[in-house]
Amino acid sequence: METHPHGHCRNIVDDYRKLTGLSIARGFSQKAGELFGGPRGWTHTTALLQAMAPVAMQSIWSMRQVSQTEQMVAPPIGVDEPLKRYELRWHTT
């Protein structure tokens, strides 16, 4: 961070490097709270960190679902195919 509201805020910048290499999967929000909760971190930055991991994981899940859905798209049907489907339904009563 280039600017700090208080002089002692500069002392914590190096502590935020502890995030490097942490997995954002299960337990990240809790770990961020342990590392930077209360006087050990910046309140707003800690809140953003704790919200970031679930958002990232949900985004990844959503992107995977979209990718799988795109792979399951039905192949194009012929011009007469809708008519054949209609005729099959017509004769079932």
pLDDT tens for each residue of 16-68: 888 888 888 888 888 888 888 887 888 888 888 888 888 888 888 777 776 66
**1 located within any domain:** no
Query: What pLDDT, in 10s, does the model give residues 65-83?
Result: 766 666 655 556 566 666 6
Distance set, CA 73 to CA 25, 67, 76, 82, 84 (Å): 30, 10, 9, 17, 20
Tally of domains within the chain: 1
- pTM for this structure? 0.52
Residue 28 neighbours by CB under 8 Å, 6+ apart? 22, 53
In a domain, 2, yes or no: no
Task: Give the helix ranges, DSSP H, for 1-93.
Answer: 28-36, 43-71, 81-90
Q: Which domain holds residue 41?
A: 7-90
- Asked if residue 81 is part of any domain, the answer here is yes
